[in-house]
């Protein structure tokens, strides 16, 4: 809006001109006289996304494993002692124990047949694999050696007969 006396710009809500101090005359404009813009095409609202209810959070119940009567506080997994995992140091220690010549072999037999911790039992059974493979290879070498000795047969006897030696 502009002042009619000095032409300065004044705010629409001002009662006096800020430059010259003249009283601003306002025209009485009512709400009905204000031209309204023509209504545009009706805007259809976007389809609302389906509203999912907020998840209900509650404290998990205590887990009871009825097979083993093993109660665990909430928030932890129910693992009975016979299924408890072994630590890496336990695996390392058992590996060292099983390679001791006599004592390790005895512990290997005990841990393989023991009904205690399943992970320790399976680890001990795993250590039987190289022993069994070594035993099979040894038996195969013995069988092949016997076959070779029998096949060569008579020619081997001349090697050990001192009368056939020439001086």
Comparing CA positions, the residue from 97, 65, 99 lying closest to residue 83 is 65
Alpha-carbon distance of 160 to 167, in angstroms, equals 15
Structural domains in the chain (count): 1
Residue 12 lies in a domain: no
Alpha-carbon distance of 87 to 70, in angstroms, equals 21
Residue 51 lies in a domain: no
Residue 101 lies in a domain: yes
Q: Is the pTM for the entire model greater than 0.85?
A: no
Alpha-carbon distance of 105 to 30, in angstroms, equals 106
Residue 45 lies in a domain: no
- φ/ψ region of 147 (left if φ > 0, alpha if ψ in -120 to 50, else beta) reads alpha
pLDDT score, position 154: 57
Residue 142 lies in a domain: yes
pLDDT score, position 158: 61
Residue 92 lies in a domain: yes
Straight-line distance from the first to the last Cα atom of the chain, in angstroms, rounded to the nearest whole number: 141
- Positive/negative CA dihedral, 101, 107, 110, 113: negative
pLDDT score, position 75: 55
Contact of 6 with 19, CB cutoff 8 Å: yes
Please determine, for residue 33, whether its predicted confidence score (pLDDT) is greater than 80: no
pLDDT score, position 152: 76
Residue 130 lies in a domain: yes
Least confident residue range of 2-11, 40-49, 72-81, 107-116: 72-81
Quote the domain boundaries for residue 137: 87-153
Residue 113 lies in a domain: yes
What digits encode the pLDDT tens for the residues 82-112? 888 899 999 999 999 999 999 999 999 999 9
């Amino acid at each position: 809006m502009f002042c009619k006396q000095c032409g300065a710009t004044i705010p629409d809500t001002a009662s006096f001109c800020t430059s010259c101090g003249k009283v601003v005359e306002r025209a009485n404009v009512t709400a009905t006289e204000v031209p309204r813009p023509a209504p545009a095409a009706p805007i259809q609202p976007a389809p609302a996304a389906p509203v999912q209810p907020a998840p209900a959070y509650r404290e998990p119940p205590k887990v009871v494993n009825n097979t083993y009567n093993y109660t665990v506080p909430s928030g932890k997994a129910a693992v009975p002692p016979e299924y408890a995992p072994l630590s890496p140091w336990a695996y390392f220690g058992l590996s060292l124990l099983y390679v001791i010549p006599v004592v390790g072999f005895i512990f290997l037999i005990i841990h393989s047949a023991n009904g205690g911790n399943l992970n320790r039992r399976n680890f001990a059974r795993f250590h039987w694999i190289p022993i069994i493979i070594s035993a099979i290879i040894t038996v195969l070498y013995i069988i092949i050696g016997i076959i070779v000795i029998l096949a060569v047969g008579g020619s081997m006897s001349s090697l050990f007969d001192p009368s056939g030696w020439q001086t």
